[in-house]
């Protein structure tokens, strides 16, 4: 048996990195996903083509390939470190970049489904008032769409939390990488080690699901 909170293994620190990865990627992919969905429904054909092309290509690429490409391709080969001073810092930033690129496609698809739930009359009324495309989208349609996609977006957020483990592939010191190290060193306690990390992820994901499920019911547009 090993000492759980010994100085050899910083379990809480590793999960803190997981949380940081999740939060930063979530914010980034929410922004980029919203921009993508605006492009996908815009009146400009080139933007529509770019939006749907990006989503179809990126969501069919394994996240692992994207993350490895960020490290091996962008960092090692092209020398882009995104302003990170050392290996750890640039690895973290590259991982966040990869997660944003990937997760935003799911945000975009959820939002597009949300736009489809807004009654046609809403947009028609907005146009009758003389609103342009961006006004219709940002003042009338998207606010209602966001309220109806809280639950799907929560699913995306939880999937993102679990997906941050992929960052272990490029050596970001988050929970899964620490688990790999611990499970190899403490081979007499693999059940305990697995249980600890599984519990950690349950603690991160389950309340998110319950809380956002409640919020989704609360803010749903009554029609």
Partner 1 sequence: MSAPSVLYDAPGPKARTRNAFYTVLFAIALLAALWWVISAMNDKNQLDWDKWSPYLAGTEAWTTYLLPGLQNTLIAAGLAMLMALPIGALFGIARLSDHWWIARPAGAIVEFFRAIPVLLMMFFANEAYALFTDIDRDIRPLYAVVTGLVIYNASVLAEVVRAGILSLPRGQTEAALAVGLRKGQLMSNVLLPQAVTAMLPAIVSQLVVIVKDTALGGALLGFGELINQARPAQSYYGGNAIATLIVIAVLFILINSLLSWFASWLERRLRRRKKGSGAVLGTDMIEEQAPGMHLTGRATGENTAGGL
Q: Pick from 2, 132, 219, 221 the residue near partner 1 by CB under 8 A.
A: 132
- Please compute, for residue 156, the number of CA atoms within 13 A of its CA located in the half-sphere on the CB side: 25
43 vs 83, beta carbon nearer partner 1: 43
Of 82, 123, 106, the residue nearest 32 (C-alpha): 106
**Tokens matching residue 190:** 């693999």
> What's the rounded Cα separation, in Å, for the pair 88 and 78?
17
As a residue count, the chain comes to: 223
> What string marks each residue from 40 to 69 as x (binds partner 1 by CB under 8 A) or -?
-x-xxxxx--x-----xx--xxxxxx-xxx
Q: How far is the CB of 83 from partner 1 (least distance, A)?
A: 16
Give the pair of three-digit tokens for residue 8: 């050899």
Contact track, partner 1, 91-130, x by CB under 8 A:
---------------x--x---x-xxxxxx-xxx--x---
Judged by beta carbon, residue 92 or residue 197, the one nearer partner 1 is: 197
Q: Which stretch binds partner 1 (CB under 8 A): 7-15, 27-35, 85-93, 190-198?
A: 190-198
As a dihedral over the C-alpha atoms of residue 187, residue 192, residue 196, residue 202, rounded to 10 degrees, the angle is: 120
Q: Give least dist CB 85 to partner 1, A.
A: 21
Q: What contacts 79, CB < 8 A, 6 or more positions away?
A: none
# residues near partner 1 by CB under 8 A: 75
138 binds partner 1 (CB under 8 A): no
């Amino acid at each position: 048996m090993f000492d759980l909170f010994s100085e050899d293994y910083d379990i809480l620190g590793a999960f803190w990195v997981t949380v940081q990865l999740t939060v930063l990627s979530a914010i980034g992919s929410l922004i980029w996903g919203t921009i993508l969905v605006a492009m996908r429904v815009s009146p400009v054909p080139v933007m529509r083509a770019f939006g749907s092309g990006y989503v179809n290509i990126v969501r069919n690429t394994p996240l692992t390939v994207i993350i490895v490409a960020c490290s091996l391709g962008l960092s090692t080969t092209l020398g882009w470190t995104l302003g990170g001073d050392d290996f750890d810092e640039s690895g973290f930033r590259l991982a966040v970049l990869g997660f944003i690129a990937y997760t935003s496609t799911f945000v975009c698809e959820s939002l597009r489904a949300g736009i489809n739930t807004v009654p046609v009359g809403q947009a028609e009324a907005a146009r009758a008032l003389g609103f342009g495309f961006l006004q219709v989208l940002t003042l009338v349609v998207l606010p209602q769409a966001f309220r109806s996609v809280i639950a799907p977006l929560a699913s995306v957020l939880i999937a993102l939390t679990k997906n941050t483990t992929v960052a272990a592939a490029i050596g970001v010191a988050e929970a899964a990488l620490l688990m790999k190290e611990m499970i190899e060193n403490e081979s007499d306690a693999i059940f305990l080690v697995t249980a600890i990390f599984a519990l950690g992820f349950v603690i991160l994901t389950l309340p998110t699901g319950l809380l956002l499920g409640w919020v989704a019911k609360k803010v749903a547009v009554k029609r």
